[in-house]
Structures are given as C-alpha cells and as structure tokens.
Amino acid sequence: MMSKSKILSCLNCNEPRDELIYSISTQEPESLKKSFTDALELAGGEFLESKEESLESTLQELTSKSVASSYNYKVTTINPNAIDNTLDLSKLDCAIVEAKFGVAENGAVWINEEDNINRAIYTIVNHLIVILKGEIVPTMLEAYELIEYEDFNYGLFISGPSKTADIEQTLVIGAHGAKKTTVVLVAS
C-alpha cells in the first residue's frame, strides 16, 4: 500500500470540477447494412442474410462436424460451458454465438454472452458463426452509447477472422483465433 500512496501523492486526486466536453458530428452512411457488409468483407469476414424461419437450414449448410453453442440450435452438438478440459475445447471445429449489434464503419459485432462462462469459444474454434439479430449502428461512438450502462462480465467487438501481417506485411488470415468468421444477419 506504500507504493499506492507514494504514486498518488504525485498526482491530482481531487474530484474534477471542470467538465470533459467534446462533440463529434458523425456522418451516417446511406445504407448501414451496405457499409457493414463492405467493412466486414474488407476485414476478411463473410456475410449472410437469413430469415428467422430459415435460420436453422442456413446454419445446417454452414456447419459440419462439432458445433459448440450455448443456444439450442438444431446443429448444436455441445454446450461449451459443459466442457472443462481445454484439450476438448481445442477439438471443436465451429461455434455459434449471438451478437447484440453490429457497427457499420468497421464490420464489428458486439458480443457479450452473460451466461457463457467459457470465453475461449470466441477464439479457439476454426469457424466462428455470429448470429446478428440486433441493429447496425453507424460508428463506435453510437456503439459505446449502447453499452455504456450495460452490465457485462466480458465483452468483445469482433471484426472478421483472426489475422496477422507480421511477416513482411503480408496479410495472413488465421493467426491464433478463428480462421473464418461468418456473420448471419437475421431479418426481423
């Protein structure tokens, strides 16, 4: 605790009396959906649209072997929260997760699955399928307005598959996380 007080003694600890004020005028694109799909494709991701009633058959076409999901889709073979061995997790091929909303400017989706205690699911599988039922917001500014008062334990924006350009600036898809990311937009 000595260190804490020593560090804080060099800093201003009083409650701010001045306000932090800034404003940004964002320009909304003509079509949020088109911007979202363009940005997602640029980030290496794949995009599909499905009607609520045909979602199950869309998922059937997308998946093959093992499918982990904490939602009861017909293709679901296992609930990731029931796996406590990391080696078993690593054998999973595909995961289906649900996103709360998408962001048009960068193709990212916001995922925070309250009941999903097995967080490795977002990066350990080869193929990540994201079901997007919510809205698409223009930019990250609107995105954080939506989650500012949200109560989450762990949440992440994901934009496309895992990638790296650490070898001679050559883009390679599939660094440590998913090699393929498909966003399925469910039309309401």
Partner 1 sequence: MNHAKKSREFLKDSSYAKWHDEALWYVREKRDRATAEVKEFEQLREAAQKIKEYTLKHLGYYLEQFEENATKNGIVVHWAQDAKEHNKIVEQILKNAKAKLIVKSKSMLTEECGLNSHLEDSGYTIIDTDLGERIVQLRGEAPSHIVLPAIHLKKEQIGKLFEEKLNSQKGNFDPTYLTSVARDNLREKFLTADAAITGANFAVAKSGSIVVCTNEGNADLGTSLAKTHIVSMGIEKIIPSLRDLGVFTRVLARSATGQAITTYTSHFKVPSIGKELHVVIVDNQRSSILNSDNQSALSCIRCGACMNTCPVYRRSGGHSYSYTIPGPIGSILGAFRELKDDGDLAYACTLCASCDNVCPVKIPIHNHLYSFRKEYVKSSYMPKFKLLAYKSAAKLMQNRAIFNRIVRFSKYSNPLLNRLSLWGKGRDMPKPAKKSFREWYDEQE
Q: Give the footprint of partner 1 on residues 57-86 (CB under 8 A).
A: 86
177 sits near partner 1 (criterion: CB under 8 A): yes
Query: What size, in residues, is the chain?
Result: 188
- Shortest Cβ distance from residue 21 to partner 1 (Å)? 8
Q: Which residues, numbered 140-159, are part of the site for partner 1 (CB under 8 A)?
A: 140-145, 147-148, 152-159
CA-based nearest residue to 130, from 149, 116, 111, 156:
111
For residue 46, how far is the Cα from the chain centroid? 14
Please state, as a whole number, how many other Cβ atoms lie within 10 Å of the Cβ of residue 7. Answer: 9
Q: Which residues, numbered 8-37, are part of the site for partner 1 (CB under 8 A)?
A: 8, 10-16, 18, 20-27
Burial class (CB in 10 A: 0-12, 13-18, 19+), 74: exposed
Residue count, binding to partner 1 (CB under 8 A): 76
Q: Binding residue for partner 1 (CB under 8 A) from 30, 53, 115, 176?
A: 176
170 sits near partner 1 (criterion: CB under 8 A): yes
In angstroms, the CA 34 to CA 30 distance is 8
119 sits near partner 1 (criterion: CB under 8 A): yes
